[in-house]
Structure 1
């Protein structure tokens, strides 16, 4: 456990200096004020990221998607580092206790900082993969020790406004006699007056062979043009990564 505490203490310390505040911080962050910005990557670029880019970098798709996002977020914040909150299953083995196949929701959000200067796009994706591989106990220990690291260290939104969640490859919208509304994928059922669980939530998914991006936010707190600029910058970086030829 000392190793876990040290890991999260280091992550919190390295997050210092990254700030990205809402445009209207005094406004409420309510569910009924949620708006969404959505973009869809063309099939050819999605295919390139999922095949050629992954093969060139030797990585899973998730760190490939996160590398350019760290860059875009650092650019938006006007610095040389960014902090993202990642969502993982939180299922892990603790000595004789194994919850990897237990019924229940063990999901956890945890922050990971990353310096974006002095790294090209390829190396940044590799750095993300290395960071994720080093996370102890599938991120669950951030919930265990976060509160012991100070009021400014826990929960994750103390360190970054942006949570990212890769949903994987979604099933077809139509299955036999059933049709699933794509806009309802991974949507919460919450009272309208409830406070949103995060400032910004970015959901990534592959559907119909195309990568979709859905950024949700409270319109009273964030200017849409600012967030659209972030997403468009992210897409440009993803496209450049997808078009980088093999060495």
Structure 2
């Protein structure tokens, strides 16, 4: 049997005509009837100001942002802001280590004996894709620390190892960006701290390929082989200012004063 058509009857209070455009709202006018209103008009009718911002409680985001205008999760923000430093790093490596068994509890790194769950900054791997922060197991292979096992948790991170002969209290940071784990070479650099000294006696420190700028108030510095070095003074400054002239010599015209004389001038 054919289902009979049912006529839909518009309630008396609803608008009797079609909306003027898509996106209009049916809004109570306050006079006992309803009317179609545009978004702008409906906002005023509903008492929603243009400057108001809606508030949401505990919105769950399923993925990390991929666009500069996207919202971010708490874990993502923590990794960027709260996690600028890796905390409680126990020691740093000073040579390549075998990650399959070289970071077990009881092993020694930089004169420090590892304990299970220690955190080790691995920074000297021959395969630099392996560099990063690792957790020490009782035995077996070490794994990346929970707060350092994604690219965003490694890029730009800083740490200061707490133990070791060479790495203790030194400041390291990751200088590699756009990391793809297992593919990108991950590099760490050391920030050399500046220290003021009132005496050069006993001054030591530094490693290979590190250079320091020493400024001394003394007039004469004696080298390790007994060589004596002339301090910078007015005479040296004036002498250094002379330019090169072919077939010439330097004439002392007064104390700490010099000038270039060519051979032709000397013969005159």
Q: TM-score, normalised by structure 2?
A: 0.20
Q: TM-score, normalised by structure 1?
A: 0.21
Higher relative contact order (CA 8 A, sep 6+): 1
- The structure whose residues are more often helix, as a share, is 1
